[in-house]
Amino acid sequence: MTHRRLDIRLVRRALRSADRLVLLGKEGGADLTWVGPDQRSALWGRMRDEWFGPGGTAYGTYSGYEFANDNGDSLIYIEVWCR
């Protein structure tokens, strides 16, 4: 893991980039879904006002983490929390 509690601006840039991998985790990571480039705009619409972390709200339902391998490839993991 390279970053946790990602800033919402970093997540927005990652969602716009087709070469970044984005993984959405629900139910404590038990329900994992890859988010393709064609699905990212809809995801951004759902989470932009519910982001928990820098640039977001203190009571949001979405949070993010970034992972990277030795080659510099990165993965953005977006976690959905229950309220």
- 83 residues of the chain, pLDDT tens digit each: 777 789 999 999 999 988 889 999 998 778 999 999 999 999 999 999 999 989 998 888 999 999 998 888 889 999 998 75
Contacts of 5 (CB under 8 A, 6+ apart): 52, 53, 54, 63, 64, 65
Please report, as a single letter, which amino acid is at residue 26: K
Which neighbouring-strand residues pair with 17?
none
Please tell me the predicted confidence (pLDDT) of residue 65.
Answer: 93
Tokens 């490839």 appear where?
73
Please tell me the predicted confidence (pLDDT) of residue 2.
Answer: 77
Give the DSSP H or E segment for 45: helix 40-47
Please tell me the predicted confidence (pLDDT) of residue 83.
Answer: 58
